[in-house]
Amino acid sequence: MDLEKIKKAVVEMNENATRELVNLALKEKVEPRQILEKGLIAGMKEVGRLFSCQEYFVPEVLLASETFYAGFDIINPMLKLQKIPPKSKVVIGVVEGDIHDIGKNIVKVMAEASGHQVIDLGDNVPVSKFIETVEKEKPDVLALSSLMTTTMMQMEVVIKQLEAKNLRKKVKVIVGGAPVNQDFANKINADGYGKDAAEAVNLIEKLARG
């Protein structure tokens, strides 16, 4: 089975073809890990590249993500049995007052596709929820997203609360979203800023390695 075909189906956002090809690969006794890495993840990496160079935009990435999961859901039970440890643990969410979660969802899927465990708190997440989850889950990275000028200051509130609870040094914090930039990240004492999903995942990889 040529796993390039699965990669191509993900890039072309073809859910049915992806399901059929993943099932076919399993039938041919291809290792689920191989299907994931050389087919599905390779496809999402190409999608990320196309997104970074503005050949793909958010609608294309959303459909490609759905396609990725169509294949991933088939092999995930088998991967769980193999107990492969994730590269890092990431908690992600859109700050309180903001429900624009597209960017967050794209980072989530790209991070998962790159082998990170992602705990998704969703949108409109209160500061206390971020703090509780960091305390409980002890993630390597906390990723905060905001799309509005009225909500981006919530990111600073989260970081200040982490400091107040003595959690700040235990987790790397990255920020992203339309009104945010590197200056803003520096100003609020974040560890990094990702201008798009591909950059955010690179940051996660870098920061998780310590």
Partner 1 sequence: MDKINAVLKRERKLAVFPIVGADHCARLLNIDFSEVATDGKKLARVLEYGYQLYKYDMVLVFSDPYVEAQALGCEIEFKPYPSLVTAKTNKRFDRTSVIIEAAGILKKKVDVPIFVSIKGPFSLASFLVGIDKFLKILLKDENEAKQAIDEALEFQLRYLEELLSLNVNIFLGDPVASASVISPNTFQKYAYKPLQILINKIKAKGLIAGIHICGETKPLVNILDTLTADILSIEDITPKTKTIKMGGVSTQTILHGTKAKIRAEAQIALEQAPIILATSCDVPPETSSENIKELIKYGQK
Which window, 26-34, 40-48, 56-64, 80-88, contacts partner 1 (CB under 8 A)? 56-64
67 sits near partner 1 (criterion: CB under 8 A): no
Of the candidate residues 16, 57, 138, 165, the single one contacting partner 1 (CB under 8 A): 57
Q: Report 116-155 residues binding partner 1 (CB under 8 A).
A: 124, 148-153
73 sits near partner 1 (criterion: CB under 8 A): no
Nearest approach, Cβ of residue 179 and partner 1 (Å): 6
Which pair of structure tokens corresponds to residue 151? 């909500």
Whose tokens are 């790397």? That residue is 172
Which pair of structure tokens corresponds to residue 186? 């520096």
Quote the radius of gyration of the chain (alpha carbons, Å): 18
66 sits near partner 1 (criterion: CB under 8 A): yes
Which window, 33-41, 90-98, 108-116, 201-209, contacts partner 1 (CB under 8 A)? 90-98
Which window, 52-60, 68-76, 111-119, 131-139, contacts partner 1 (CB under 8 A)? 52-60
Local structure of residue 95 (DSSP, 8 states) = B
Of the pair 23, 149, the CB lying nearest partner 1 is at 149
Element (H, E) at 101: none
Complete DSSP assignment for 1-42: --THHHHHHHHTT-HHHHHHHHHHHHHTT--HHHIIIIIIIH
Which window, 2-10, 59-67, 84-92, 130-138, contacts partner 1 (CB under 8 A)? 59-67
* Cβ contacts of 18-21, under 8 Å, gap ≥ 24: 18/67, 18/68, 18/70, 18/71, 19/70, 19/71, 19/74, 21/71
Nearest approach, Cβ of residue 85 and partner 1 (Å): 31
Query: Bridge-partner residues for 173, per DSSP?
Result: 142
> Alpha-carbon distance 43 to 146, whole Å?
27
Nearest approach, Cβ of residue 55 and partner 1 (Å): 8
Q: Report 145-204 residues binding partner 1 (CB under 8 A).
A: 148-153, 178-181, 183-184, 187
At 91, which amino acid appears? V
> Alpha-carbon distance 168 to 163, whole Å?
5
Query: Which residues are near partner 1 by CB under 8 A?
Result: 13, 54, 56-60, 62-63, 66, 96-102, 105, 124, 148-153, 178-181, 183-184, 187
